[in-house]
Structure formats: C-alpha cells, structure tokens
Chains A and B, each alone.
Chain A
C-alpha cells in the first residue's frame, strides 16, 4: 500500500514549456486534490475532483488544467509554464463514507518541486 505517489519529484522548466505532474493513489478514495505551496506559505488548492469524471476549480486554478483519468489517477498540466508557477505541488486524496460522504482526513503525497526559469 503505497498511499499517494507523485512523479516527478523534481523538475526544472523554461518559461513557456509544458509538463504534466502525475498523481496516483491506491486507497480507492473518491476525492483527489492538487495544492501548491510557495516558500513560507500554507498550501493553496488548485483543483479538486470529487469523483471519477468530475473536476472543479479551487482557489488558484489559472494556468493549470487537470484530468481525472480514472479513480486512481489525477494529473495536473501546466500548458505554458511561468516563473510564478515555481512552487512545490502536493497531491492528496480523501477517505470518506460512501453513503454520507462524510470524511475525516486527507492523505498527501511527497510533493513535486518545480522550478520555472
């Protein structure tokens, strides 16, 4: 049981390049999330997916797209990277009751450290 895994761990991009951050969870969770964390700050929600086939914007969605490929995988795409997107990106999934959707904790991956020059 690996929990939440993210690839790559580190990435350096030039301005204008594109890339996709991958996230997978093996806990059969319905909900998945992408956050970013800038130096010295708390995490901010970029996008989330309440269930397979659905995605919604979070607090800071501009410049990003997401795909919920299946129940396990939730990817984040930067179409044209900018220096302002230099950050650490965390993926998370959420455990919940299948009937009431009441949940208690999110499980976070180890993060992807992205630098855009």
Chain B
C-alpha cells in the first residue's frame, strides 16, 4: 500500500465545508483512495473511495488530483457529529495478495465547533 500523509488536526466551524487533505505521492495506478472515519473510539466507518475520478455520495465528496498524488475529502456542511478522526488509505481494491487489507495511519483529528 502506498504511504499517505495527513495533517494531525484541523478545525472547522459548524455549517461550513470541511476540506481534509491527503498526500499519497507514491500511489500506484491500481490503488484506490479510501476514506474512513472513527468517532470517539467506535469502529471505523467507511465514507467514500475513488480511483481517479471525483466521487460524491450522501456523506462526502472526494477530489483526486489529475496526477493522483493527492486528494481532498470534502464534508460540505460539517456538523458537530462529524467530529472524528479521518483516515485516508491507499490500497488495492481487488483480491489476490492484498485481500482488502487496510493500513491505517494516525489520521486527521477533525474538530467541528459551534
């Protein structure tokens, strides 16, 4: 899996967009970018993933640069319940030797304040 680098912490005002960056400069062509979050020591929760196109779902948007060396997770209208640790993971999607193993770094602690 490619190494990812994230800022250790970020703040965001409630109702504003939270933009969480992730650097993955050594990502290979077949590796996807996944985002998970962990709220207050609960089990991690899947947010979104992408390969090279921008992606959007009901939780967030994922913007991947054209060279795929970095990405940004966007929570469009952050709420207090979005306060969590956010993990950016680059990994292969298909089976084979990876079998979907996830390598978690230390992530970004996002604090949403009123």
Determine whether A74 belongs to the interface, using a CB cutoff of 8 Å to chain B.
Answer: no
Given contacts A109-B43, A111-B42, A111-B43, contact A104 B102 (CB under 8 A): no
B113 CB, nearest partner CB in chain A, Å: 21
Q: Is the CB of B95 within 8 A of A50?
A: yes
Give every chain A residue within 8 A of B104 (Cβ-Cβ): 35, 42-44
Query: Cβ of A59: which chain B residues have Cβ within 8 Å of it?
Result: 103
Where chain B touches its partner, the secondary structure class is loop
Query: A90 and B95 in contact (CB under 8 A), knowing A45-B102, A103-B100, A105-B49?
Result: no
- Would A111 and B41 count as touching, CB distance under 8 A? yes
Contact A108/B99 with A42-B87, A42-B104, A42-B106 known, Cβ cut-off 8 Å: no
A61 within 8 A of B: no
Q: In chain B, what residue has the closest Cβ to A45?
A: B101
**A108, B93: Cβ atoms under 8 Å?**
no
- Give 1 or 0 for each of B20-56: 1 = CB within 8 Å of chain A CB: 0000000000000010000001111110010000000
CB < 8 Å neighbour of B46 from A90, A100, A105, A110: A105
The 0/1 profile, CB within 8 Å of B marked 1, for residues 30-42 of chain A is: 0101010000111
**Contacting residues, chain A, for B49 (C-beta < 8 A):** 104-105
Q: Are A110 and B42 in contact (CB under 8 A)?
A: yes
Does A14 touch B at the CB level, under 8 Å? Answer: no
Q: A42-B106, A45-B101, A58-B101 are in contact. Are A101 and B95 (CB under 8 A)?
A: yes
Q: With contacts A4-B43, A108-B44 known, is A41 near B94, CB below 8 A?
A: no
Q: A90-B43, A101-B96 given; name 12 further pairs at CB < 8 Å.
A: A33-B102, A42-B104, A42-B106, A59-B103, A90-B44, A96-B95, A102-B94, A102-B95, A106-B44, A106-B102, A109-B43, A111-B42
> 8 shortest A-B CB distances, which residue pairs?
A108-B43, A101-B95, A42-B104, A105-B46, A43-B104, A50-B99, A94-B100, A102-B94
